[in-house]
């Protein structure tokens, strides 16, 4: 016997629930802001829906989580344009940012330097401008 559990959202509490996998409200808001700054030429971010359902269950392309917190954004070679949002600094558990080989422009967000768990940043082969923010030197794991 197979029982299908319908997705539900816990509102306005600080999380979204999907099959027992929770994404924190802060991380959901950051991902929404990040998506808003991207230009989704190939539609790869269609899975990043407005309800947050599935963000930490493998339902959102390129997102990996542990305990409801985003630990990786891995979207290389996806044809993404636009900019990297400063809101990326809200993802306090982020360990890996892999956005290489896209067409992202603008500067590298200063807020990356406020991520204590950041271990890898892969932004090569984009159209980024400016210098690497000095705040990156504050990431103890890099």
Q: Using an 8 Å Cβ cutoff, are 52 and 27 in contact?
A: no
pLDDT, position 21: 61
- pTM (2 decimals)? 0.84
Instruction: Report the candidate in 61, 69, 83, 75 with the shortest Cα–Cα distance to residue 128.
Output: 83
Separation of alpha carbons 31 and 49, rounded Å: 10
Task: Print pLDDT tens along the chain (142 aa).
Answer: 223 333 333 333 344 444 446 789 999 999 999 999 999 999 999 999 877 778 898 889 999 999 999 999 999 999 999 999 999 999 999 999 999 999 999 999 999 999 999 999 999 999 999 999 999 998 999 8
pLDDT on residue 58: 87
Residue 82 to residue 71: CA distance in whole angstroms: 22
CB of 23 closer than 8 Å to CB of 48 = no
Contact 27, 16 (CB under 8 A): no
């Amino acid at each position: 016997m197979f029982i299908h559990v319908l997705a539900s959202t816990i509102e306005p509490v600080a999380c979204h629930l999907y099959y027992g996998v929770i994404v924190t409200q802060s991380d959901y808001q950051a991902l929404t802001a990040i998506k808003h700054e991207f230009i989704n030429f190939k539609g790869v971010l269609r899975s990043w829906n407005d309800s947050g359902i599935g963000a930490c269950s493998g339902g959102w392309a390129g997102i990996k989580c542990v305990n409801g917190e985003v630990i990786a954004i891995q979207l290389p070679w996806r044809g993404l344009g636009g900019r990297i949002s400063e809101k990326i600094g809200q993802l306090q558990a982020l360990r890996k940012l892999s956005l290489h080989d896209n067409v992202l422009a603008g500067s590298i967000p200063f807020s990356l330097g406020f991520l204590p768990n950041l271990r890898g940043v892969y932004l090569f082969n984009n159209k980024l401008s400016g210098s690497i923010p000095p705040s990156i030197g504050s990431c103890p794991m890099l």
